[in-house]
Every structure is written in C-alpha cells, then in structure tokens.
Structure 1
Amino acid sequence: MATPQGRTPGDRARYAQLLDHAGRATVGLRPAPGAAAPRMWGSGVFIAPGWVLTCAHVLAAGDGRRRETGPDGVVGVAFGGRVAAARPAYDLSRPAPEAAPGAARADLALLRLLDPEPRHPCAWLSDQPATLLEDAYIFRGHDRSGGEAAGEEGDGARGGAAWPGARAERDAPASPVDAFIAVRFGARDARGLQFGSDVRVAPGASGGPLIDCDRGEVVGIVKGRHLQDHVGLAVPVTALRGLGPEHLVAGAEGLGPDPYHALMSLHDRWHWAGQELGRATGPTWFDAQHAIMAGRGRLWGIQERLQALDLLARLPAPRDPLVVEAAVGEALERGERPAAWALRTWRDGHGALYQGSDPYTELRTFVHYLRIVAQLAADEVRDEPGEAAAAVRAQAVRLAEFVQAKAVVLQPQDRRRIGPVRRRPRSVLVEFEPLFYDEGAAELFNWSVSEGYGQGQWLRVDVQESAGGVPFEQAREQVLRQLGGRLLRADGAAGPGARVRLEVAVPEGRWHTAAGQWEVAASARRTARLRPVGPGRAVILRDQGRREQVDPAWWQRWQGLRTAPALQALRVGPREGAGARLGACAESVWRLLETAGEGALPALCHSVADGFGRDAVGVALDTGFPAGLWPARGHGEERDCDAVCEEFHRGVRELLEGSGGVARLPELVRQLRAKAAEAAEEGTHWARDLVLLYDDPEDPIPPLFTDRPQLSPG
C-alpha cells in the first residue's frame, strides 16, 4: 500500500535513520514538571545544547494569553522518557517596543533548559532557504493537547499519533518513522512555507520540525493549517536570522549581544563535535545525512559543509551584514545582492552559495568564499593585542589551511584567480629598488606600488621595471602621477571614511625622503588639485633592505617597543663639535644604541642624507631598531646643534611620552604634521618635515619584484 503522496515503504525506509534522529530531537511542550494532569501544548525541537526551538503561539493559550506556567515562567520539556524544566528565553513574535511599525515578526520562540547537563540529540538546521521539494516530512503531533493558533488549526484538534519523545511513557509506542507524516512542500509566501498532505495534521504538531529529507535538514517549524485555504504552514528556519537581543524575555538569561550568531555557533560546533574520535555516542544526525547523500558526486559534500561551518562558528560575527553579502557576491562573481533574504553571519553566506551548478563550479565558489572570510576575519584583529585577538588569528589560519586543502583540485587558472582575494587594504606601499651598476655609475631605480593587508601580505598593483632604470627624482615623479588615484581607490576598498597608510620603502642614502610632503591629486578629477599627503593620512618610511627575513635583533627590539610601559626618546649625536664623523665616536654610538632600553626610540636632528646622520641610522638598523624620528632637512656637519635642535628634541620627547605605545605613532605624527601645516598650534613647525621610520617585522615588505640579476648593463 502506498504511503502519503505516493511514496513507497522503501522510500520511507531510506529515511528511517534520519527520521529516528528527528524523532529523538523532537520534544513535547507542557506545564512544568510535577503539574497535575498535564496536557501537551505542542512540540519543539532541540537545535543546540540546552536550547529548544518552537512556535511562539505554542506557549500561548487559545485566547492569546500565556500558558499556565510554574514559578518564573517554568515550563516542561518532555523528551527521552523524562520531563525537564525550561524557561522561555526569546520571543520573535513580538517586535521590540522601539521597533518601527511593520517590523518583521516570526512565530518562533526559544526555550532554555534550566539544567544544562542532560544529554540530548540536536536537529540539523538548514543554512539555506527552503526550495520546492517532495521528500518532506513533519511530525504527526501529540494525542493530547489544547489551544489553537489564531486563524489556524493544529493544536486544538483531537486524535492523532504517538509522539516519539514520549515512547517511554507509552504502552504501545509507534516507530520513529510512523511518528512522521509525508507532505508536499509547495510554496513560500508572506505567511511562510506552505505544504499539503493527504492526512490531516494531528494535534500537537505545531512547533515540530519540517524536514527536507533529500538534504537531511530541518527547513521549517510547523505552525498548523490555515483555516481558509487549508494549506499547511511552517515558519522557515531562516527566520531565525531576525533574532536579536530585543527579543529576550524579561528576566531570562540570554546569549549576549548577538544571540543569533551565538546560537548558531553552538549548533554548528555541537554537530562537528559529534564526529570526534573516541566519543561514546551512537549514530549522529550527520551519519544519517551521509547515508542519504553519499554517492551523489558532489565535490563540496556534507562532510565539507560540516567542517566549514564548525570553522566559521569559531570566528567572531562579521562586523556588518553587508560584508557577508559582498563576500558572497564576490565568490559568485557578481556584484549585486546575492539573494532576496538577509545574510547576517558567515554561516548564512555559506548557505547562499548553493546555486545548483556543476560540482566543480560549486567547489570553486565555496573555496573562494571561505578564503575571503578567513582573510576578513584576520584583518579585523590584525593589530589588536591580547589573547582573544590571537585566538581569532589562529582560527582564521585554521580556516585558511582548510581552504588550501580543498583548493588542491582546482584548475591552475582558478587557483591564480582566487589567490589575490579582494580584501580591505590597510596601506599602500611605494618601493624604490636601486639598480646596482659599476662603481661611479649614476644611481638608477625601478619602482612598484602594492596594497598591504598585514602580516606580510601584499598585492602589487603597479610596477615600473626596465633594464636601465631611471634617476630617483624621475622615479618619484612617475609614482606621484598615479599615486593619488591609487590611494583613493584603496580608501574606498577599506571602507567608508577610511584613509589607508602610505608606506615608502627606500634604500640607504634616501632616508631623508620627505614622503609626508609629497603632493598628490586630491580627487579622481582630471584637473584635480594637488594636496600634501602627510596631513591627511599616516605616512611612514621603511628600510628597503629589510624584507621577509626577520633577524632576531629586529624582532626583539620590536617586541620591546610593543610591551614597554612608556617610550623614551634616545638622542643620537656626536660628542665632538662641528665636523665630527661617526668614525671618531663609532664605539660610543654603537654602545648607546645596543644597550638602549626596551622603550627607547632613536631621534636625530642631524641630516640623515650623508655623513654622521646616515651612518648613525645604519647603526640603528643594524642593532635592530624598527623605528626612529628625524627631520628630512636636518642640519649638516658644518654646524653644531642649536636652539632649533633643542626644540626638535623637546617636541620628540613630548610626543613619545604621551604616545600610548608604538602602534599609535603613525597617527600621532600625522596629527602633528596637520597642526604644523595649518599653523594651528604654536611650536609645531618643527614637525613639518618630520620623518617617521616605522618598520614592523610582523609585516615585512614583499620580496623583490624582479628576479633579474643586478648586473652592470651590456
């Protein structure tokens, strides 16, 4: 005999393991434990440890009033032959008092078990919106219940079938499969998901799961049957994306400022933990899914999804839902909004990628999306200190490693395309590479421009390379002609109101480069005015000789500066009078720099273009100093220090004493430049051409952009 909707007993047997898990995860809702003659109100389903999802109307009587509950609103959750105490925690059916008229509501509620210890199964909630399907089942309902939902029936009818969670309380329990009824899911509109059935929906079905057996997922929560057109209705589980702190029930213990992210993280991590080696549990929901979906030829299967969602659950929530939509749009290779539903978390973005495409394209899309997420998550905490930020960086690395493992089967052109993920740049690097010819030949340069994303990750966006090179001044003019537009584009990619840092890497002999006074186009207009770059954005100088290899002295000095309770200016200058060279006091300068304390920062008032100043900077770099300060036009060796020098050193001391740490120096120097440029504050003119060497070994400049040997031409 055929089952409802023409299914055969063999079809039902195929889903027996899945429906068994669904039955054990489905609960009955009733008065608090110990209540006399309790009546079942409806159903619910475990979706995370200690958390039950149901319809909000199940917790209300037929006249809309709250059910009779125990002290503090305690209700009973019946499962596995026992009744546990729980309390309503979130109600999505009522918008917050401050919500705008017409704010979205959902007939959903969440209950939290008061005892967090009892073991119970959890259903798998789909990460994607429900589509048209035939292999769908709903829980039949309880044989004892009461109450009705307004405009619907389902909780108030009599008759019905056994409830799987109550099998231990029944004399003649039904099988798990018999506890579910096959339905045909046919549409989705403002009322929710619509389904029909040849069999009347029994009482107590409200709040139970609507299961898409083809995917092995819960896609909705059953509401009941509409009285006018007699279609069954369910709330899509994607409506949970509207969950916010405003839905917290008064007096309840919540999930923090982002309850939806917290809840789904608990859900996804629980399912991944169920597959750990050595666990004493039996078959899991994933095992049932795998039995149904194995052998379909998917390159991105349920095992990849299981691990990916666990890794995403360990990351912080995205700072803005628009970031998720942008990442999905990029992975799908289109810029528009990816779908007509809201995407709030990285999990939601994952669910938006199922496009019914061929297995290879689907794999490529998921790999691309997860690579973007790993980079975005790392970028958010790139410069943050502390254990929490370090943990996020570690989780981002785990996700990136997972992505790399899945990307090995991609075609070479796809690996190349996905490699330079579009991210939020934090800096633009201009690098001048000297070409070394025979002694006495003119000094010539090539140059490049890169966007930086932190931790030594760079994407070159412009390169000027020739066998002969050009003089430094010409190379600088070539850079400046296009630098304004490049900075504006990086600002736009970094986010609203952002001003990325300009970093300039120069070789020895060019440490006096006053990049903060460079003038670049102020807009993208063809006739845009030129404006100094330094007052509007942080500008730092980097040593072109330091690259991906970090020597111990450099690293130790940097760590010392980062952890020092305060920074101190270390005045570096010759002990003799005018005309003194480093050769006359080499040992004293070397000893001064090598024995300096952790918070010391070299400060020179001498010119660093040549002579003593140039040699002293070289010693500072050789002894590991990652930062230093000097004027671009310091005084030469023909004169001794004077009142101008004293003003400079006093200003540097005050700057460092109130800096709050080395990480803030680029912005503080920018502020000084801005004040000096506007003459807004007396005594800041010394900072107009201030140069800040700021060489972060945790973010080394990229390898040389040419593999061409540095040989004499011809």
Structure 2
Amino acid sequence: MTQPQGRGAWGGSESTYRALAGLVMAATVRIHRPEPGYAPDGSDRGFLGSGFFIAPSWVLTCAHVAMEGEGRHVNVVFKPDPGSAETAVEGAVVAALPERRHAAAGPGGVRVPAPSGGWPAPDLALIRLLRPVEHPCVYVTERPAGMFGGGSVLYTGWTDGGSGQLTRFSGRCQVMGTFGDWAEDDEQMRLDGDRMYPGLSGGPVVDLARGEVVGVLKSRSDGTTGGTSIGVERLRTLPVPPGAVAAESDDPYQAVFHAHDRYHADRHTSPVGTDRTWADLQRELGAGAGLALSPQQRVDLLGRLAELPPPLSTRSLLDLLDRLPDTHPAEHHAAPRGWRDGLGTLYDAPGGDGALELILRYCMSAISAERPYVLPSTQLAEASLWEWVKRMAEDRLSRKFRHELAGLRHNGRHAPGLEHLRTPAPTLEPARTRSAPFVLLALEPRGWERDRYDWRIGVAQHGGDVLPVAEDSRGTASKALPARLAGPLAEAFRRCDEPDDPAVLQVAVDQALMDLEVDGWRVPPDGRPLGVLRPVVIRRLDHSPLLADDGIDEREARWNRTRTAAMRAAVVDCEDGRRVPVPVVEELRQLPYETVPVLCRYGERTHPETAAGLGRVLDGGFGVALWQRRAAEPTAVCTDFHRRAADAVAEARIAAHLPEKIHELRQGVHAGRAETYWSNGVALYYEDPHHPLPGSGQFLEAP
C-alpha cells in the first residue's frame, strides 16, 4: 500500500512504537460482570471482554461486551502501569449502538436476530464510571477510520489465551480492506496477519502511522488469524438528545469528546512530568493534521475548540463547512457532529498556505457560530481560540489574510442580531434569603485529650439568636462523632427544613480542623452523605475583624461585594501545574472584593506551606473560599480542576448561590455524573459576617 502524501510517515523508531504501545495498553481495561465479592485478582471470573478509556471516566467497548453485564452495570478493571495495583470501578452503560441484539430491519420492517448470536454493527457502547478515579486515556482520531495513515495497526486487550489467568495482549495486523456498507452502519475494517484470542473484543485498534486510535476490535476470524474492527467515527451516530441541549453533559457524544480533547491538551501543555505524551509520539512518527498543523498544534487547537459549546446541530455544522472553499463534508461518511469532526474533514485540503488558511477560517466560523447554550466561560473560550488563530496567522501567513481574519473577528463580535441567536445562560433559582434558619454545629478539640471533641448544635434564627438543640462537653472521639451526632442533627434539621428545601449545615471549627469532611458523614450510618442531602459549609471559630486603612471592616466589605457582584475564582497556590506559596496577606488583600480564592494544593497536607497558606487566605478577609482536600499524585495535571472551579464560581454568580452549587456538585458525584467528578473532596468556606458566631458565653443561650 502506498503511503499517501501528508498522512504520516513510515518507519518510526522501535522506541517510539514501544512507547506508543505502552500508552495504549495503560488505557486498556477489562470488563467483568458485577458479581458480588468480585476481587480484581487477574482471574477470569465474570470476564466479559476488553475496552479502553476514551475520556476521563468514560470507557468505549463493544455493545456485545458491555450489554452482557447485569442491568447495564459492569465492573471496569484497569492497571495503568505494570507496577501498580489493579483498580475495579463500577460502571453504567450509557449508550449502545444498537441498543438490542437485532440485525437491521429486513423486508417488511421485520428485525431478525443477528447471525450466530453476535451483535450487529456498529456494536459500540459507552460506559461511564460511577465514581471518580485517576487513569490515562487514549488519543482518538478525528478522521473516519477509512482515512487511516498506513496499512499496519496495533490492537490490544485482555485475554486468558486458554490459560485461565487474564493477561494483557497486543498484536499487529494489516488492514486488508472493508466489508459492509457505511450507509447502513455495518461497515467494518478487515484485519489479518496475527492471531486474536477470545476476550480481545472491545479493545482499541491504533493506526501506527499516525499514532491514534481509529477503531474498536469487534470480532476474530473463524480462521487462525485476523478479525474485524469498527471505526470510532460510528459514535457520531449516537442518538441526538430529543430536547434542547442546555449543558455539555446533555449530549454524551459531546461530553465524551470535549473531555477527551481537553484531557490531551492539558497534559501536553502541562510542565509537570517528563513522560512523552500522545502528541510527542505523533511528532516522532511524523504524523500531523495533513500539511497544516503539527501534532502539538493540533492538540492545542482541539483543546481550545473543546472549551466552546458544541455546534447547534449536525446540519448547522455541515452548512458551516459548505461555506468554506474547496470542502466537501457530505463526502465523509458518518457526518461530522462536533468541532473536532469538522476539523478532521479539512486535513486533506491542498497543501501550502491554503491548508492552514482553511483551518483558520473554520476556527473563525466556530467562534461566531450560533450556540445551543452559553456559559460564563464561553466568551473567554472564544477569546482563547482567537488568540491561537492570530498567533498561527502571524507566524505563517500573509498580512492580507491576517487583515481578513481581523475583519471576521470584528464582524462576528458585532453582527446585528447575533446575541439573540444565542441561548442565554440559564437563570439561577433564587437563593435562600438571610432570614432562613440554618443548623450550626460547633466542634472544639480538647487540647488535653487528643482526637476528642466537645460539640454544640443549635438552630440559628434570622435575628442572630442561636436556639440550643444539644451539646456535649465530655469529649467525643472523632470516629464516634457521626453516630453520636445523628440524633441531635436530625432534630435540628427537622426544625429548619422545608419541603424540597433542606437547611444549610454550617460547621464551625478551628483552622486545624478545616479538612474535616463533615459533608461525607453518613447520619444515620446507612443513609446518604450529609453533603448529598443538604448544603454543608465550613466556618472558622477563631478570627478577628480586619480593618482597612480607612477603618472599614474589610471582611464585611468583601462579603457585601460578593452578595451583589459577579464573583470570580482565583487559584492562589498553584501556577502552571506547580505548587506556589500563597501570597502574603497584604497581597491577598489587593485582590478585588468579588474574588473567591481557590486552593488547589490543600490536599498535600504534609507540606509545611499547606496550613500556612490556608491561614493567610482566611486572614485576608475573604468570606468565601474553596479548597481541594483530596491529595493528588505529584505528576497529576490540575488544569481541569482550575477550569471547573472557575466555572462553578461564575455559574453561582453571587455568594448566596454558592452553597447550593457545591451541594449540587456533591449530589452529582454521588449519582455518578462524570462532569462533577472534579469536585470530589472540595470544601466550601462560607463566613457570613451578618450571622456572626455567638461568643462562647452566649452560644446555645435561649433569647
């Protein structure tokens, strides 16, 4: 087979191929039936087949593998590197193509069972993990599989090879052609040249010329070698949501691939760690986006496109592509559905400056396109993509073309009637008013008895009085607190809760207890976590007024600003993925009053800067702050946490809405919604100076 011009290069080094295989196998998983008592010990008990992480918390596999679970639930087992322990996580099948084991409708519209008990093409399924875990992901092509760069592919998966002990397996095959009709969704790539064992179905198929996943292994041949695979572009045929799309998570296709592209952009641009990324290996292979973009430029661009809301529809995306010169999007089977798909249709444009000009025109169209929804971060995403376009044009293209781009940007921003075409951000529900009572839990450590606490529970009224519910000054061990407090808290909640409107729980502690996860307590022990049932916020028992130079109480001034002005997050302990010291109090006080400090590195509590940094934030007069209590790996990329925290603060808009926003996120984590997993372990500091804590001599005194 002749290598097409501009579609990768033959002859990457063996080192590059080994590194590529390592990245693929690290993201390959095995899928088991969720049997009681299952232990991921390498045995084949309940083993169904293979799969791979396509995006954070998302697994792609075959429908005939995933749908053999129990009630659309499976166990996903993975091992990121040879020296690590296996992890088993429950997953739910979100979508299967097709949903049932039936062939296409025959004469008269009658559906008949697929031959030999198999699952008809496209035979794909998406599994969403039901709890957050760290794991690697493959890089998935944005081009149809029929446009693979060479004739050789790598495939991986899990199999016992007849031994009864599951193990990773990889092999290489040649693409021999296709069979089936792409228009009927049953087109498959024919592979031959290597033996395939049972259990490999659902594993990734990688184009070795370009270093990207192009397919999912579907079946093995009845003979001794080879089998078939399904192109990943078949995921574009996932059902379109029937109603209006108001968030990325409303459409699984967009949610998966936006998360995929942000994941790879974040890891490639992060200065943390020295391991080669997918883009690094693609560069070593000589791959790229046709003749226009290097692998590094492509992954950066895809990450920026993934920050935008998706296209309004496939029809709107096709119309946008049709308006570009020398493009023929209708010729690509499995019509493009997302921004990455549209970009993939442009890679085979004629070479030279024209190829890059076409891509930049496409980006300008994406910036000005009608949106299904608009987020607080949308304007920043448009500006980020425009900066990328300008940088690429200034580096490689004529001044005349750059002038044209500037005109497109101006017209796109100021076109009459543009704003009314964009769906406005959803209106937030009214927050609880200050008059709503809340439950106050005060925990004080007994300095002379380690890990034991005195506690008091009361109901805070709108007038500032705190009515007592219960207290105990005999010292309760930390492990016994949830059970001991279950009854008194239930009574306090009963006094405050309204139907569908649970009262806020404010937990007042010393600074040393700011990492206490009261929101994770289960009271009663067989109930749901407190943070899932109601908003839970942290307060500090020990702080004093902070006066500005003019004598104004700065704490109250900052609080009043966050009640009326749109808040904005500021990460204060992390830059470019690296821990930095939290600025001194004098510098923090220079931040705008509507700022919400975010501590990304608080989970590293053994670091001497952790407690001191939080102390400076609390002493800086801020009434609202967020911090991450979960410890991350030293090489973990935290870009997504920064991004999502900023989005959450912007979406809440004012301080009164933030407790409910964090409550909503905690509910999402508990319910297994992948888009909320970034918030797992986040704490909210919420110090309303209009509801000061009573003095020690007054607390729990009746009015």
TM-score (normalised: structure 1): 0.47
Q: Highest Rg: 1 or 2?
A: 1
Q: Between the two structures, name the one with larger relative contact order (CA 8 Å, sep ≥ 6).
A: 2
TM-score, structure 2 normalization:
0.48
